[in-house]
Amino acid sequence: MPDFFALRSSLSARLQASPYTVASMSVLLIAAYLCLVNLDYAALWHDEAPAAFFGKTLLQQGDIVGWDGRNLVGGINGRTLNEELRDVLPPLMYVLNAVGFAIFGVNEMGARIVHAILGIAALGVFYLLLRQHLPKHPRLMFFIFVFAAGSAQLLLYFRQSRYFSVMVLSLILLFYLYERYWQSRNSAYLPVIVLVAALSFFNHYAGGAATMLSLAAYHLLFRARATTRREWALFAICGAAVAAVGSNYLYWLGVIGGERSGFMGFAGQNPTPYQGDKSELFLFIERIWIYIRELFTADWISWPVFLWFVGMALIAWQARRRQVVGASRQAQRRGQRVNDGASIAQKILGDDFPLAAVGKIILMGALFALFSAMLSVQPIWMNPVADLRYYVGALPLLLAMKGLFVEWAWRRHVIAGALALGVLLFTSVGAAPFNITMVFSGQKTLGLYLFEFIREVHRPYRDSISVVSSYLLQNAERDDLVHVPDFAYREALIFYAGDHVQFCCALEETTPLSKDKIAALDAPLYIEQNTPDWIIFFRQLQLGAAKQFTVKPFAGMYEIVAKLEVYPYPTQRPELNMHAFSPLDPGDNRVFILRRQER
């Protein structure tokens, strides 16, 4: 009993000594629950389902191939497959999906749970990174951590069977390990850094490159002068090792040195060339502007907080500059004015306000975002918006700016700090009036995203993929031929109904895949050679415009047997500009199911 009371007293003393640590761990537990609860709340959407499909083929066949014995998954016209029908996208997410399927079965839970667990691990490493940079500021650490763990956007990404959680984890872990190396100069950290960098590349090619480039840029900014020749040589060897492993894998796949050399040759759709008269430099600047703008409209970076941060940085820089000038002999006579400037900065910022330490964390996130924007292949002349998913690795680091603002407000007055924390955490007021526009509703909203997220994962709504797959399983006969003109919907349905029906007409004669290889599959894959039993349109049906989706022959052979009252697009995808926390009215944009008449 004395030991028990001693343990309880010791624990109580620790809790009282570090209340913010306890609060942070409590927040982590809540975030872990929100990452894991009801992972099967919605069907796998367009990007998740192919990733799950390849995870299943890896588990069953030991290879990441697009043919599962009945159906083919490989993007538009099979373009994302090489000559051996292997998928050329980064393989790590498929490996993680296969692990989840082996433990939890081939379902939504199995597809998503490993990624969700890694997302929780990413939050844990982020807390360690904060301790590394801010050891004397536990309250500030708590504020920053709350914004990361309480980000509905980040939690949405963690609940996906894609590369998102690993992208976050790899960037934060690489940054953390780099700082550990620099503090100790222990070369044992370098092989681990190489391993994490390689995994980040095999998780997402552009994201991995952005991760390594951002770390290199950070080093050049802060540590270049202190780096010895031996360290430069070691860093070069590390970079060369990652580049060698990555390039050899791409060469093996045929992305480098093959007939379709270059990743754009394997794009899911043909690259869309620019038809205007703008220069390459202008397009590059426009791309960077669009990507920066989207960070503010999505409230990843709150523009009022950003303006405050820039103002504080300028004040600190000016104070530092005056101190340097005041130390010189030429400025001795202006000493009083220098002291006045320093005292003003001290009054505004406080005695030990860690602006520089937090600024380095924010800078790493900004560098990652910058390189992600530069490496993105999204044609901005087609869709003048940024693809937010390329940014997700930077999100926790950028949110440190909000935590710093709350700490500054808290130091002014506790009520002001608490109010700032509540407003910035639970609303998107920092983006008003430039809030992001929801693609499908066209509306801008203030957004109470965290509350809406919690409600959605506990009260999910119907989605088109689950509704249509259920219809096929109930109404289609075994091995019926089903054609879905939109490849993304087709590949999502293959994961759910591919063992019951066959999805035909996936390829045109112009497919880059080997004709002999496709013929050996003995499957109804060519549009020109097959007539399906069912056709499914995930959009408003326009028979007059059906030529672009046609199969041979179309007119007069099919009847509409179902008009499903569900919004066609899977609005559970994680990007806030495409995510609906509650069901949208489908209106005329329903799902139409057609069946061949002579059956």
pLDDT at 543 over 70: no
Predicted local confidence at residue 136, as pLDDT: 93
The answer to whether residues 529 and 471 belong to one domain is yes
Whether 293 is in a domain gets the answer yes
Coil vs helix vs strand at 595 = strand
Confidence label for 551 from pLDDT (cuts 50, 70 and 90): very low
Helix (H, G, I), strand (E, B) or coil at 455: helix
Tokens 């000493």 locate to 335
Q: Is residue 550 part of a domain?
A: yes
Q: How confident is the model at residue 12 (pLDDT cuts 50, 70, 90)?
A: low
Tokens read off for 581: 């926390």
pLDDT of residue 334: 52
Q: How confident is the model at residue 547 (pLDDT cuts 50, 70, 90)?
A: very low
| Six token digits for residue 505 | 């007409």
- Spatial neighbors of 543 by CB under 8 A, at least 6 apart, are 555
Q: Do 287 and 407 reside in the same domain of the chain?
A: yes
Share of the chain above pLDDT 90, in %: 69
pLDDT the model gives residue 549: 47
Give the count of beta carbons closer than 10 Å to the beta carbon of residue 339: 13
Q: Are residues 506 and 369 in the same domain?
A: no
Per-residue pLDDT at 344 exceeds 90: no
Per-residue model confidence as pLDDT tens digits over 431-457: 999 888 888 888 888 889 999 999 999
> Is position 194 within any domain?
no
Same domain, 479 and 417: no
Please, where are the H alpha helices in 105-163? Answer: 108-133, 138-149, 152-158
Per the domain annotation, does 106 fall within a domain?
no
Q: Do 364 and 423 belong together in one domain?
A: yes
Q: Which domain holds residue 404?
A: 280-382+393-427
- Is residue 397 located within the same domain as residue 478? no
Q: Are strands 502-503 and 481-483 parallel, antiparallel or unpaired?
A: parallel
* In contact, 198 and 250? CB cutoff 8 Å: no
User: Residue 525 in contact with residue 507, Cβ under 8 Å?
Assistant: yes
Residue of higher predicted confidence among 376 and 402: 402
Q: Kindly report whether the peptide bond that precedes residue 433 is cis, defined as omega within 30 degrees of 0.
A: yes
Mean local confidence (pLDDT), 196-215: 96
Distance CA 58, CA 99 (A): 10
Residues ≥6 apart with Cβ < 8 Å to 153? 298, 300, 388, 395, 449, 574, 576
State which of 427, 449, 484 marks the end of a domain.
427
Q: Which of 20-29, 270-279, 453-462, 530-539 has the lowest mean pLDDT?
A: 270-279
- Any domain includes 286: yes
**Does 370 map to a domain?**
yes
DSSP helix/strand/coil, 481: strand
In this model, does residue 256 exceed pLDDT 50? yes
Is 304 found in the same domain as 412? yes
* pLDDT more than 70, % of the chain: 87
288 and 376 co-located in one domain: yes
Regarding predicted confidence, which is higher, 320 or 419?
A: 419
Q: Give the chain's mean pLDDT.
A: 88
Distance of CA 201 to the CA centre of its chain: 14
Q: What is the pLDDT of residue 520?
A: 93
Among candidates 568, 570, 573, which has minimal Cα distance to 590?
568
In this structure, are residues 222 and 360 in contact, taking their beta carbons and an 8 Å threshold? Answer: yes
On the question of pLDDT at 590 being above 80, the answer is yes
**488 and 411, same domain (yes or no):** no
Asked whether 450 and 440 are in contact (CB, 8 A), the reply is no
Reference 198, options 258, 248, 128; nearest CA is 248
* 485 and 354 share one domain: no
Same domain? 423 vs 491: no
- Asked whether residue 264 carries a pLDDT value surpassing 70, the answer given is no
Concatenated DSSP letters for 364-400?
A: HHHHHHHHHHHH----TTT--S--GGGGGGGHHHHTH
Could you tell me which residue, 530 or 550, shows the higher pLDDT?
Answer: 530
Q: How far apart are CA 576 and CA 583, in angstroms?
A: 14
Give the whole-angstrom CA distance, residue 178 versus residue 379.
34
Mean pLDDT, residues 68-88 taken together = 93
Cα separations (Å) of 83 from 246, 270, 437, 494, 516? 19, 18, 41, 22, 10
pTM of the entire structure? 0.91
Q: Kindly tell me if the per-residue pLDDT of 70 is higher than 60.
A: yes
- Residue of 81, 91, 94, 159 lying closest to 120 (CA atoms): 159
Distance (Å, whole) CA 410 – CA 148: 19
Separation of alpha carbons 555 and 131, rounded Å:
67
Higher pLDDT, 13 or 120: 120
Q: For residues 406 and 424, is the Cβ–Cβ distance under 8 A? A: yes
Q: Which of 175, 168, 160, 165 is nearest to 215 (CA)?
A: 175
pLDDT higher than threshold 80 for residue 270: no
Query: For 450-498, how does the pLDDT look when each residue is reduced to its tens digit (9 = 90+)?
Result: 999 999 999 999 999 999 999 999 999 999 999 999 999 999 999 999 9
For residues 341 and 335, give the distance between their C-alpha atoms in angstroms, rounded to a whole number: 10
Instruction: Pick 165 or 544 by higher pLDDT.
Output: 165
- Band the pLDDT of 377: cuts 50, 70, 90: confident
Tell me whether residue 148 is in a domain: no
d(CA 581, CA 587): 18
Residue 231 lies inside a defined structural domain of this protein: no
At 545 the pLDDT is 42
What domain count does the chain have?
2
Strand (E) or helix (H) holding 201:
helix 189-203
Question: Do 417 and 287 sit in the same domain of this protein?
Answer: yes
What is the structure's pLDDT at 38? 96
